[in-house]
Structure 1
């Protein structure tokens, strides 16, 4: 790091011009990249994805595409069996079929009383708009990419024009309910600006000078450069639309965090009398290593998504790995140039100084060290309780009750429920039958399965094409419920040979099997990689092991918190006006784990690296804990608050799944910065004493790092060489400036 920082400071103009160029190019890429992002979520090679693609290819609709559910209520005195009313219903749905280019089924053509409510006046149908690509062919409809314009309004108008006077029509469906529930929310740009304003307030409090603007400037450079990289990747592979949220808001938090760490250490060096390039180089020698290892920890966490057999997770991982890499690069190259040139001028009026440790955090840490057993037991109990809640997580699409609370979609859902029609009809399951199969016979067999409300298999081109046939199953339970998933499993088991079962629930089941089936092995690999990385960083075996285990425990607690807030609704309704979702989207736990594993490790590196440094200086574990937290407590808290504000801004996004994802990240940062880093970590380090710093010579040779210190005691523990007066162990002391440069770790 010494040679690297020296090179950067010798080429200030070149570094500045390079970053200026890529930032300008990134500003252009931001305006173009959104149109190149995709919205497909299904894992490749899964049975459901293949089925959905085949259904969309042959019929142009269905499969993963959610149908419109028009709910018609006839005027008083008429019912669905009245000759005039039944004819009007048939004419209305025929008009919808022809005018909207849709595949339609209703009571008028199916004659199925399960499509009629208990009052006899209310009935519903299924309308699958046929999606068209630019070339005029039917799209594959494998996910959200296949969705066209919202036709619920035109559908209602077409039906009303043919129905008897006094009839009411309310068009519902999962897509309409989701849109109504998340119809309001700022854009990515607005969310980033909101997060940036919040970050500026925190930074102004931390620095008390114009230096507060520097981390934000580094964040702008990092975000724009990352968008440039994403723009380039979109020319090679598909990139999911979630990447724009990841780059903009996680990038804001990460870039500010890294900059905050280096700027804080630079101010400390200036307070000790170092100026100019010397202060920057000394800050880089310590904080630069922490930034480097933090970025590596984030990248290791995202390996979980890179190796998963799901394209959209891999594409989000690309963005997730780009932003910490670019942020670390900007922090280690551009930021030193800024600090060495205009840093002293910006460090005014210096309402806060970095001469000593925070009194408040020092006092807090002394109390934690004193009551270390109590702190460990209480914090572990809280995390374990939340982790236990995570065992009840239900993966799937949100329940209809968590969606809209007003509007036509809500009115249609309410009419169905009042009429005794189960809400599972909103999540139909399409079964594509091969040539030679008898649709009527298959429909009769599927109709007898438990959990099936009805099965429709009309004749005509909309349901018979190219020798194949399409059968649509209406389950009683929604796809996101345990009952709905069991129904899909039963349909798959009962389907004839060669049949393909599609729908979003089937895709979710395949996603869960593919992604989470190998997750334990993946956790082991990621944990091992992180252990090796941190063992090199801390020159210890116990500290990295504790860091990995605590990280996994805190992540389980985060998932439990997400279950409480969203699946069980303890907070979602009060904050966002969205009732308990009853389930969590299948991709969210994997994404929350991948991002939080690395982001929370940032704080572990920041804190333990400072503790390691203080222990090397003093030889006292308790002093290392108190001084380490005293020096980094405000830094970690401020960094966590900035990240939390970024995620809170992300939670304002109009998509429910993004809200849940942002909530998981925000809760994770809060839990990690409070219960874990401010309570459990210092208590455990104090509890283990000298064992924290244990690195036997054989391990040091394997890790290719210097041993932990001077002589070995009878336990084989290593005591450090320290500067100043005699320490608690009486180890030999050498002034800090006289010590040789520690090798880069």
Structure 2
């Protein structure tokens, strides 16, 4: 692997014009394909194998008109204080008429005709049905809905709107993302001391994300990839793209510092750091593609699309980055270090000995860098440091044992949004369960009679507030009932009610003469979604960690190193989940983060955190431990290898982690609580994994294990192919052929270009 990538890096450096032209053609070609492709399809959310999905499919077949996927809006109207809805009949009639004349509206249900008025007579609602789906609504349609509500408010009514036809307020201001990118650029500049070196990872990462997202857009209509599919791809592609380019550029500067010519340095950097990039990328791809085991199509598509974008980032790191280095072989160095590439000939033996003696004296007087000093400290006190780190992460993980999962809805929106106000008005006037009714489908020869029998039985069920009359289809073989729970959609009692109704289905079928009874609706769908994700969490974790464990055995040729990597990841992700629970579920420091309403954690949060954080964690593990392995293979003792690995990679790994923390932390300043949650969780996980697990636990464990860390059974060693990530074979191949240009540089001076 290292030898192949060495040749590839040299080729890209020497043929930089050709390689750059190829990438320009790829960018232009994919961009042209994306612009010419049909609009991406609307996301069709489905969960194969669940009762909710089975019922939805039945409704689509038996009630095609009722199951039409046009957008809807529910206008909630409350009369002024001291008045009833009946007193405002004329004003409400004007509102209904104006809504009916709005663009793309199919019809409006008048609250007086539909009898959608609360028991106290003060609140009513009108349902607006549109001819098109929510994503296809025009700005004129949204503006007409808003204008009608505003005019009714001017007349003294309280009017709020909910439903998928209501435009969601743009909570993402973009300020947080801009702050994250600016902080990333600052970290890169402080790390490299060169604007070009700092800009190169950002540029290549943006190109990689552009290629990936354009490919998703180009294939959207063919593969059924909606616009939302690219969300995860953009986030992960940017993250790993910066990391991978950062490590290749950093290694190139280190090779230059050791006296190699630029083309040779590019080849060696691609052969060594590039090998780590390839295998780190494979771990991320495994984690993202593994989302397919959840068996939810939207998650599978998002995972595969993001995995494809990561693959593009890897290709760019090992081809385009060395090509760009060819255009600026000196400018990626600090100004004070650019004279290094001017040396073309080896020094004489006398000058070389004099130079090395001078360097040794200077090194003796030079203070080691921070990473070296930290690694040396941990090596001297490994047990105490290890215990402190493990206990600290364990304490942070304790709140995760009380994790409560849920899905976002209008009830979790900010209290100043019209959707949340409409939700609260309906809950106050019609009961908490009104916002989350259950739809019960009844199949049978005489579905109407069977539906009435089922409805009568459901009215006696604990937790049921009301049951509508059974509505049969034209064929008379299927009927639907609407069941309103006494509790809200996210209440645990409602979830238990769904389970109770499903448990009674068998006995109800026998007594009512039905052939099938199914429970669906948005509330039941959310419950099934949460249950599906919960059931898939452990298999997904086992698959991802297991495959990555095998891959890391291949990379490090060790049993204990991959085991330590996996256990460390579990510690960091558990601590991050604990922090998320403490802040967003329990409300600790909620004022600091601007959280208006603590509540259940988003159902997708744990599985996304596992996938994203596992990939990034293995990146840091591979880049850091590969340097240790490289030093160990080349003759260093186990403890010296730890210090050497940190001297060369500690600062760069810390910089990569700070970049990711900066990007993810930017989302914390956004208004939307769910966006805050994702940003906070990912930033916390990277912080714990990079600076506690990789920087504390990893060197401590390696110091305690010593040579045993690199133990591999002989029979397994013979079976495994030698992928040579650390470049041992490459070094043997190059040693007699490549003349090394010695430089009188101290360890401190070398650290300036790492």
Asked whether the equivalents of residues 477 and 484 of structure 1 are also in contact (C-alpha less than 8 Å), the reply is: yes
Which residue matches 1:731?
Answer: none
> Aligned with 2:406: secondary structure?
coil
Quick check: 1:185 aligned with 2:169? no
Map 1:267-286 → 2, pairs under 5 A: 267-286=253-272
Asked whether the equivalents of residues 74 and 161 of structure 2 are also in contact (C-alpha less than 8 Å), the reply is: yes
- Alpha-carbon distance between aligned partners in 2 of 1:287 and 1:235, rounded to the nearest angstrom: 38
Which residue matches 1:130?
Answer: 129
| Per-residue Cα deviation, 1:66-99 (whole angstroms, up to 9, x for no partner) | 965544333455446xxx5497799689869966
Which residue matches 1:429?
Answer: 438
| Per-residue Cα deviation, 1:28-87 (whole angstroms, up to 9, x for no partner) | 46667894164344323432124335546736567999965544333455446xxx5497
Asked whether the equivalents of residues 385 and 696 of structure 2 are also in contact (C-alpha less than 8 Å), the reply is: yes
Return closer, same or farther for 1:76/1:261 CA change in 2, 3 Å cut-off.
closer
Quick check: 1:6 aligned with 2:7? yes
Segments of structure 2 that go 5 or more residues without pairing to the other structure are: 341-358, 739-754
Q: How many Å apart are 1:552 and its aligned residue?
A: 2.5
Which residue matches 2:55?
Answer: 51
Q: How many Å apart are 1:587 and its aligned residue?
A: 2.6
- Alpha-carbon distance between aligned partners in 2 of 1:148 and 1:529, rounded to the nearest angstrom: 46
Return closer, same or farther for 1:258/1:87 CA change in 2, 3 Å cut-off.
closer
- Alpha-carbon distance between aligned partners in 2 of 1:324 and 1:623, rounded to the nearest angstrom: 34
Which residue matches 2:466?
Answer: 454
Return closer, same or farther for 1:558/1:148 CA change in 2, 3 Å cut-off.
farther
Match of 1:694 among 711, 722, 729: 711
| Per-residue Cα deviation, 1:252-303 (whole angstroms, up to 9, x for no partner) | 2211111111111111111111112111122223211111110111111123
Map 1:250-399 → 2, pairs under 5 A: 250-350=236-336, 359-398=369-408
- Alpha-carbon distance between aligned partners in 1 of 2:314 and 2:114, rounded to the nearest angstrom: 63
Return closer, same or farther for 1:329/1:551 CA change in 2, 3 Å cut-off.
same
Quick check: 1:116 aligned with 2:118? yes
> Aligned with 1:344: secondary structure?
coil
Please say which of residues 642-651 and 601-610 is displaced more in the overlay: 642-651
Match of 1:672 among 689, 697, 704: 689
| Per-residue Cα deviation, 1:623-664 (whole angstroms, up to 9, x for no partner) | 222221232221111111212233234566786545433433
- Alpha-carbon distance between aligned partners in 2 of 1:550 and 1:248, rounded to the nearest angstrom: 27
Q: TM-score, normalised by structure 1?
A: 0.81
- Alpha-carbon distance between aligned partners in 2 of 1:320 and 1:274, rounded to the nearest angstrom: 37
Q: TM-score, normalised by structure 2?
A: 0.80
Segments of structure 1 that go 5 or more residues without pairing to the other structure are: 134-138, 710-719, 724-733, 741-745
- Alpha-carbon distance between aligned partners in 1 of 2:661 and 2:339, rounded to the nearest angstrom: 25
Which residue matches 1:730?
Answer: none
- Alpha-carbon distance between aligned partners in 2 of 1:297 and 1:739, rounded to the nearest angstrom: 34
Asked whether the equivalents of residues 565 and 571 of structure 1 are also in contact (C-alpha less than 8 Å), the reply is: yes
Quick check: 1:609 aligned with 2:620? no
Please say which of residues 407-416 and 210-219 is displaced more in the overlay: 407-416
Quick check: 1:509 aligned with 2:498? no
Return closer, same or farther for 1:432/1:103 CA change in 2, 3 Å cut-off.
farther
- Alpha-carbon distance between aligned partners in 1 of 2:715 and 2:491, rounded to the nearest angstrom: 53
Match of 1:200 among 163, 166, 185: 185
Which residue matches 1:523?
Answer: 541
Map 1:525-544 → 2, pairs under 5 A: 525-544=543-562
Quick check: 1:169 aligned with 2:158? yes
- Alpha-carbon distance between aligned partners in 2 of 1:568 and 1:148, rounded to the nearest angstrom: 40
- The structure in which a higher percent of residues are helix is 2
- Alpha-carbon distance between aligned partners in 2 of 1:121 and 1:32, rounded to the nearest angstrom: 55
Asked whether the equivalents of residues 372 and 644 of structure 2 are also in contact (C-alpha less than 8 Å), the reply is: yes
Which residue matches 1:22?
Answer: 26
> What is the number of equivalent residue pairs in this alignment?
691
- Alpha-carbon distance between aligned partners in 2 of 1:345 and 1:651, rounded to the nearest angstrom: 35
Aligned-CA RMSD value: 4.1
Return closer, same or farther for 1:407/1:390 CA change in 2, 3 Å cut-off.
closer
Please say which of residues 257-266 and 244-253 is displaced more in the overlay: 244-253
- Alpha-carbon distance between aligned partners in 2 of 1:383 and 1:60, rounded to the nearest angstrom: 54
Asked whether the equivalents of residues 74 and 166 of structure 1 are also in contact (C-alpha less than 8 Å), the reply is: no
